[in-house]
Structure 1
Amino acid sequence: MKQFLYSVLSAAVAFAAIAGCKNKLAEPPEESLYQTILSQQNRGYSLFVRALERTGQSTLLSNSPSVTAFVPHDSAFERAGFTEAVINSMDTTSLSVLIGYHLVGETVTPANFTAGGRIETRAGYYLYTNRNDGIYVNNIPVSANYLAAANGVMLPLTSVLIPPQKRIYDVITADTTFSIFSAAVFRDSARRILLKDTFNTGSQFTVFAPTNNAFRRIGITDVTIRDTNLIKADSVSRMVRQHYVANATLMSHDFINGNMVKTGLDSTLVLVTATDSRFGASAPAIRAVTRPDTTLYRLKTRDLITVNGILHSIDSLMTRRR
């Protein structure tokens, strides 16, 4: 009988202890996000704290009702050239943009990340999320673990998020390897789509920019693309619109085998990944389903983040066959 009572009492005590732990874990955090990040200074996050203090954004993280901070490790800042001396000497406007690109005015956890997703930052630029073959922000891996605060979350990062400086059109205009595509865009009204006016309305794009060699292989040069007698305006327009996807930001991590997207010409592209042996893909690529074959258009360069979307380059010109 005594043994029985002892067993019952032991079980009751164990249950009470477990219940007490559960209640303790269920308690919401009391510290602000700034206090939470501050507590991580000695664990390698002191440079982010210093930047917050210099820009006055520590107040935001203390008082905002909901905020997310992507916090790079000190080693990440140093690799990117942002040593303590640099952070202490940077003008506060530039530093505010850099740190603001790591802050989101709502609570976002890795569970909220979507493939091809985007999140607007306090700096006014977008972050791009992926979760097909892992969890990423701007192609930087994000751990599923994070620190919760009373008014938000801290997501540790191994790299610094660099705010974009140029629009898509600015990039292709400045890069001489895209001079023919740049001339085609300039001839077409699409240049207005790729410029800042449309970005101000929130539009975002994915552009697959053909290199000059892609054009030259089919006989189009810097001279002929500008000649209105040789290449009509409608042909140029169709050429340009076949190479961008509107209202979508597709990074290479978003390439799911067989996933289909529509171009500005309303043509269908199939996204292909390195694991799709049906098309002999050895890296992320695209396939135009309107063609009678399985030609792959491989990404020569990929995932360039701009102010108004994502830019990839391809080594062949995509043509739509009716």
Structure 2
Amino acid sequence: MKRIKTYSRIALAISGFLAAFTILSLAGCRKSSPGKRGTIYATLASNPNYSILVYAINQEGLKETLNRESKESFTLFAPDNQAFQAAGLNSPSDLSKLPDSVLKAVLLYHVLASQTLAAQIPQAANTPVPTLNGQVIYATRTPAGKVFINGIAVTKADISCTNGVIHEVASVLMPPTGNIVQTALGNPNLSLLVAAVLRASQGATNVAAVLSGAGPFTVFAPTNQAFINAGFPNAAAINAADPNTLTKILTYHVIPARVFSSDLVDQSTPATLNGETVRILLGKNAQVKGMGNTTPSNITATNIVSTNGVVHLIDQVLLP
């Protein structure tokens, strides 16, 4: 798959962890050279490419845990400085502006309570794995040996440490802050989508209740500009539309499965919640096309994790 943008939510962490975009590399994992390098903390601290991560660990009092020589072992998915900078966190001073509870939740979402080497990850898609913050991440290992966490590539695997292992990841992993509806409510760029969901729920199907259910679901979420381009410039225009018509369109944006960007297959036609199909196109940019659209929609941001699925932003409303 070509590189596509992945969505990072740190810059809006206080109001729901929603924010900037980052580039998702789908290259295979690079194995580190064998041999012990010291503790997880010491290994990170010895590499200037992890200086922002090290600062965050120190800030939240996790140094002792990750520097401890004991029978305990950990797995750390480590974003390097470039990953933090792509998320809008260019320096330690930017991290210090985040509430401690937010930063600690994000850090612990990168840590497993035992050592897991890349080859020990099941050769399957989206295996749930509990993290130290109490929430799960979804690990994928392909037949070719590529590893993804929440759809984000592991770019360097199996950095061996005396108290566990480090896997470098291409992006900061953001823990979910609610279900799909709550995630959309926390993103100002999805306010017209929220209005459409609420209006559709006044018809025969309570769309908000469906998208708040157990799932898992994948939502291709049109941004506000996408709705404006489709002739819905504001919430008043959406509220004037027929709820059942909106339901048919909105459920066409939902796949009843958890599909990260790493799961997308070129030219595939996954079934949507309304029973019809969309087409996935993976050329220079990742795209999704509604069968009633003359042109495909660009997938502009990916892998926004919710408690009941995943959201990808698109720049065009899909038509059945």
Instruction: Choose between structure 1 and 2: higher helix proportion.
Output: 1
Greater relative contact order (Cα < 8 A, sep 6+): 2
- 1:139-158 equivalences under 5 Å are 140-149=152-161, 152-157=164-169
TM-score by length of 2: 0.63
Provide the C-alpha distance between the structure 2 equivalents of 1:162 and 1:217, rounded to a whole number of angstroms.
Answer: 30
The answer on 1:183 being equivalent to 2:195 is: yes
Percent identical among aligned pairs is: 22
The alpha carbon displacement at 1:55 in A equals 3.3
The alpha carbon displacement at 1:184 in A equals 2.4
Aligned to 1:42: 46
Contact kept, 8 Å, 1:300 with 1:315, in 2: the verdict is: no
1:159–1:239: structure 2 CA closer, same or farther, 3 Å change rule? Answer: closer
1:153–1:39: structure 2 CA closer, same or farther, 3 Å change rule? Answer: closer
1:109–1:211: structure 2 CA closer, same or farther, 3 Å change rule? Answer: same
Aligned to 2:109: 101
1:298–1:92: structure 2 CA closer, same or farther, 3 Å change rule? Answer: closer
Letter in 2 for 1:263: T
Helix, strand or coil: the match of 1:310? Answer: strand
Instruction: Choose between structure 1 and 2: higher strand proportion.
Output: 2
1:37–1:294: structure 2 CA closer, same or farther, 3 Å change rule? Answer: same
2:131 to 118, 121, 127: 121
1:296–1:92: structure 2 CA closer, same or farther, 3 Å change rule? Answer: same
The answer on 1:57 being equivalent to 2:62 is: yes
1:303–1:64: structure 2 CA closer, same or farther, 3 Å change rule? Answer: farther
The alpha carbon displacement at 1:191 in A equals 1.3
Provide the C-alpha distance between the structure 2 equivalents of 1:158 and 1:218, rounded to a whole number of angstroms.
Answer: 34
Contact kept, 8 Å, 2:73 with 2:163, in 1: the verdict is: yes
Contact kept, 8 Å, 1:135 with 1:142, in 2: the verdict is: yes
Contact kept, 8 Å, 2:251 with 2:273, in 1: the verdict is: yes
Contact kept, 8 Å, 2:220 with 2:314, in 1: the verdict is: yes
Unaligned runs of 5+ in 2: 1-33
1:294–1:75: structure 2 CA closer, same or farther, 3 Å change rule? Answer: closer
Provide the C-alpha distance between the structure 2 equivalents of 1:78 and 1:60, rounded to a whole number of angstroms.
Answer: 25
1:91–1:287: structure 2 CA closer, same or farther, 3 Å change rule? Answer: closer
The answer on 1:318 being equivalent to 2:312 is: no
Aligned to 1:226: 239
Provide the C-alpha distance between the structure 2 equivalents of 1:287 and 1:39, rounded to a whole number of angstroms.
Answer: 45
Aligned to 1:81: 89
1:266 to 264, 275, 281: 275
Q: Deviations over 1:225-277 (max 9, x none)?
A: 424xx62x4433322211112331332x4321233423222323332211xxx
The alpha carbon displacement at 1:92 in A equals 3.9
Aligned to 1:20: none
Aligned residues: 271
Aligned to 2:15: none
- Single out whichever of 100-109 and 213-222 deviates more from structure 2: 213-222
TM-score by length of 1: 0.63
Helix, strand or coil: the match of 1:239? Answer: helix
Bigger Rg, which one:
1
Contact kept, 8 Å, 1:34 with 1:58, in 2: the verdict is: no
1:109–1:86: structure 2 CA closer, same or farther, 3 Å change rule? Answer: same
Q: Deviations over 1:96-137 (max 9, x none)?
A: 113112212344444437556665433345545567796544
